[in-house]
Amino acid sequence: MATVNPYRYRLPDTPVFYPDSDGEPMAESDFQLHPLIYAINALRAFFADRPDVYVAGNMFVYYEEDNPKAVVAPDVFVVFGAPNHDRSSYKVWEDGKAPDFVLEITSLATRTQDQGPKRGIYAYMGVREYFQADPTGDYLKPPLQGQQLAGDHYAPLPSAASFGGEWRAYSAVLQLELRLNPTTGELRFYDPSARRILPSYQEQQVELERLKAELARLNAGQA
């Protein structure tokens, strides 16, 4: 007997409720939290001048209209072609497309979902690239893995350890390289065109204060 989706047989004009949170913590531990926060802030700053690029994370993504159970919560995701404004959740049908890039920070509690059901959902949605990073190196071998959508499934992207042991993989969607230090668990994005590491929020603030001080010094010299 087929399973009936109750959300598709609701009374006319009855609004569908799409929750914004499940009450679960943002990350299992600091080992997962720090890379997650860095990735969101660094990518938001990198795409800050692109009003058609939306960067978010730890947010519900609903991928079937009228079906609140069709939901997934990526750690980090990027959508090209979606207006860059604040949302309480992302609904694929409202902006007409699924995320193009997803990054999951893998932990003991999430590794089964990241490797199985979530990967299947992302392929079904049409997410072009799916990356996983394991800051502690306990759950993924290698600890940084990228996959590219090929038809209706994912094919692995090349990843390799540098001379210093840092794992690297290139995202053609972002045009950035992901780098993971297996010793410290630090995750970084590298911009090959500018030959620079994307700074963290704290590093951005330090640079901003330096520029302010330099501007004040120049203005004082002109007085």
pLDDT value at position 216?
79
> Is 164:196 a contact under the CB 8 Å cutoff?
no
Separation of alpha carbons 78 and 53, rounded Å: 7
pLDDT value at position 212?
87
pLDDT value at position 15?
83
Q: Which of these, 38, 56, 74, lies nearest to 178 by C-alpha position?
A: 38
22: pLDDT confidence band, cut at 50, 70 and 90?
low
Secondary structure E strands in 93-186? 101-105, 129-133, 144-150, 153-156, 159-161, 167-171, 176-180
Domains and CATH numbers, the chain: 22-222 (3.90.1570.20)
In the predicted model, is pLDDT for residue 222 greater than 80?
no
Higher pLDDT: 126 or 21? It is: 126
List pLDDT tens digits, range 88-126.
Answer: 999 999 999 999 999 999 887 777 777 778 999 999 999
Separation of alpha carbons 205 and 175, rounded Å: 24
List pLDDT tens digits, range 204-213.
Answer: 888 788 888 8
> Is 183:167 a contact under the CB 8 Å cutoff?
no
Which pair of tokens denotes residue 182? 């297996």
User: What is the reported pTM?
Assistant: 0.86
